[in-house]
Amino acid sequence: MEIKILKDENEIGAACGQFFVDYINANPKCVLGFATGATPVPTYNYIVDAYNNKKVSLKEISTFNLDEYCDIPKEHKNSYWYFMRENLFGKVDVNYDNVDFLNGNADTEAESARYAKAIADKGGIDVQILGIGRNGHIAFNEPSDEFTDEAWKVTLTQSTIDANSKYFDDIPMPHYAVTMGIGSIMRSKKIILIATGDSKAEAVKAMIKGPVTPQCPASILQQHNDVVIYLDEAAAALL
C-alpha cells in the first residue's frame, strides 16, 4: 500500500483529479471504476474543470460503478446513477453507451453475472476509485464473516444507514443495495482509495494496521499489489 497524507480534501481532489486527467490522456480508452458518496466529489470537480479547460476528454472511456440502491428508480435523485450524472457524467463528454451500472431492481443473480461479464469483456477495470465507510466497508460490502466475490445484494448496516439517511428527504433510505463484491474490486488493476475527516480515522487504522479480516472489508486491500491511499490529516490521525 502506498500512503499519501495531504492537508485536506481539496489537496486530495487536486492530486487524484490530476492523476485521472493524466491517466485518461495516456490511455483514452481506459476502463474506470467510479464511486459515489461525498469523498470523491472534489476529484470529480477537478476532472470537470480540466474538461472545461480542454485538458482532457472522456469520450472514449468506459465506466463501471461500485454499487446502487435497491427499491428506488434509477432516475430518483438519491440513486447513484443520478449522483454520477449530476457530479461527473452529465458535465463531461462521456459516452453513455459505455457507462455501466448495477441495476438495483433486477434479479440479483442474473445482474451479478451480467456485470461480471461486462467488466471482463472490457478487459477488466484499469483504475478503481474507492471511499471507505466508518465501519471499514468498501462499496457496500459491510463487515461480515466472509469476503464476497462478485456483485451481490446486501442488507445495509445501521452505521451506513446513519451515515447516508441525511441525503433522503422525500422517501425513506432503502435498506438494501447491490454492490460489486470484494473479489470484483480486487481484480481491478489499480485501486485508489480516498478517506477524509476524523470520522474515518478508526476505519483507516484498521484497514492499514489491522489484520486482514472481513470484519474490516477494506483490510483486504493489504493484499492488492497496486493500491494508493490518499488521506487527509484528520483521517490519518490514528496511524
Q: Which of 192, 197, 135 is nearest to 9 (CA)?
A: 197
Question: At its nearest, how many Å lie between ligand PGA and the CB of residue 184?
Answer: 15
Contact segment (CB under 6 A) with ligand PGA among 24-32, 34-42, 146-154, 230-238 equals 34-42
In the residue annotation, 142 being an active-site residue is answered as yes
Q: Are 70 and 102 in contact (CB under 8 A)?
A: no
The residue from 111, 137, 164, 232 that is catalytic is 137
What is the C-alpha to C-alpha distance for residues 99 and 109, in angstroms, rounded to an integer?
A: 21
Beta bridge partners of 45: none
Q: Which one of 57-65, 129-137, 146-154, 183-191 is the stretch in contact with ligand PGA (CB under 6 A)?
A: 129-137
Chosen residue from 13, 17, 133, 181 binding ligand PGA by CB under 6 A: 133
Find the helix or strand (DSSP H, E) in which 161 lies. Answer: helix 158-164
Rounded to whole angstroms, the Cα distance separating 101 from 162 reads 25
Segment lying near ligand PGA (by CB under 6 A), choices 23-31, 79-87, 113-121, 125-133: 125-133
Nearer of residues 132 and 201 to ligand PGA, judged by Cβ: 132
The string over 184-223, giving b where at least 16 C-beta atoms fall within 10 Å of a residue's C-beta and e elsewhere, is: bbbbbebbbbbbbeeebbbbbbbbbebeeebebbbbbbee
Least distance between ligand PGA and beta carbon 196 (Å): 8
177: amino acid identity, one letter: A
HSE-CB at 172 with a 13 A cutoff on CA atoms is 3
Angle between helices 41-52 and 9-26 (to 10 degrees): 50
Residues 38-67: x where in contact with ligand PGA by CB under 6 A, - otherwise, as a string: xx----------------------------
Q: Is 131 in the site for ligand PGA (CB under 6 A)?
A: yes
Choice between 9 and 111, CB closer to ligand PGA: 9
- Site membership for ligand PGA, residue 174 (CB under 6 A): no
Q: Least separation, in Å, of the C-beta of 96 and ligand PGA? A: 24
Buried residues in 116-125 as b, exposed as e (16+ CB within 10 A): beebeebeeb
Q: Which is nearer to ligand PGA, 56 or 195 (CB)?
A: 195
Our finding on whether 185 is near ligand PGA (CB under 6 A) is no
* CA–CA dist 238, 91 (Å, integer): 37
Verify whether residue 67 is a known catalytic residue. yes
Choose the catalytic residue: 68, 126, 142, 232: 142
Which residues are known catalytic residues?
67, 135, 137, 142
Residues in contact with ligand PGA by CB under 6 A are: 37-39, 131-133
